[in-house]
Amino acid sequence: MNFGSNIIMALQRYGHLFLKGTLITLAFSAVAVTGGVIFGGILALMRLSEFHITIKGKKIKPLSIISTAYVEVIRGTPILLQLYVFYFFIPSALSFLNLSKFASISLALIFNSAAYVAEIFRSGIDAVDHGQMEAARCLGLSRNQALMKIVLPQAIKNILPALCNEFVAMIKETSLASTFFAGDIMTTYKTVNGALFLVIEPLIIIAVIYFALTFTLSKVVAVFERRMKTSD
């Protein structure tokens, strides 16, 4: 049998598993980025917060310190390590939560994505002309009001394309979930490989699926960015 006939055979027998794996991969990615946007936005606001306490004459910003430390730790450690922590340590330490496999992996991906999304928010806000904040303050708005009503709406244009790219990146990072047989695309490869004793052919199918997903989304993001620039 050649590669072509083996690929056709694998698709005929396990096409439903490849489809299911693709849907689970997209579900992991969507949950991770959605949760990451919410948590990442909170982290970004914490980092930009002016709230402080004074200790021995020194101003300390606890919210900013916590946010910065979180982002540095998450970005400085491998995502696979984080998956192990959420898959093995968190369920055992917090057994009363009774987390499912999908929930444990999703939480790990959310906490990972949030660190990167926080930086996307922060850089997008920093890219807005600082004069906007000053003008809003002169009009009587508080710093928080100016940030939410003036600066953040303008920063959205800088943030949205980067968030779309984060979704594309997360699709590829979810492949590590196969370590725990989570049902994603790479888990499907392990199943087909074990059933048909084929190595290359399932990988070719997996590669085509990943490429189709990421290439299509990348093109959508590119079109979206061009339209955003045109609207300016």
**DSSP of the chain, one letter per residue?**
--HHHHHHHHHHHHHHHHHHHHHHHHHHHHHHHHHHHHHHHHHHHHHH----EEETTEEE-HHHHHHHHHHHHHHTS-HHHHHHIIIIIHHHHTGGG---HHHHHHHHHHHHHHHHHHHHHHHHHHTS-HHHHHHHHHTT--HHHHIIIIIHHHHHHHHHHHHHHHHHHHHHHGGGGGGGT-SSHHHHHHHHHHHH--SHHHHHHHHHHHHHHHHHHHHHHHHHHHHHHHH-
pLDDT above 80: residue 200: yes
Q: What is the pLDDT of residue 231?
A: 62
Of the CA atoms within 13 Å of residue 95, those in its CB half-sphere come to: 1
For the chain, what percent of residues have pLDDT higher than 70?
97
Q: What is the pLDDT of residue 13?
A: 93
pLDDT tens sequence across 8-31: 999 999 999 999 999 999 999 999
Range of the domain at 120: 3-231
Of the CA atoms within 13 Å of residue 34, those in its CB half-sphere come to: 7
Q: How many domains does the chain have?
A: 1
192 with 202: CB under 8 angstroms? yes
Distance CA 128, CA 146 (A): 12
pLDDT tens sequence across 96-106: 778 888 999 99
CATH number of the domain enclosing 26: 1.10.3720.10
User: What are 173's strand-pairing partners?
Assistant: none
Which two structure tokens, joined as six digits, stand for 189?
């490869």
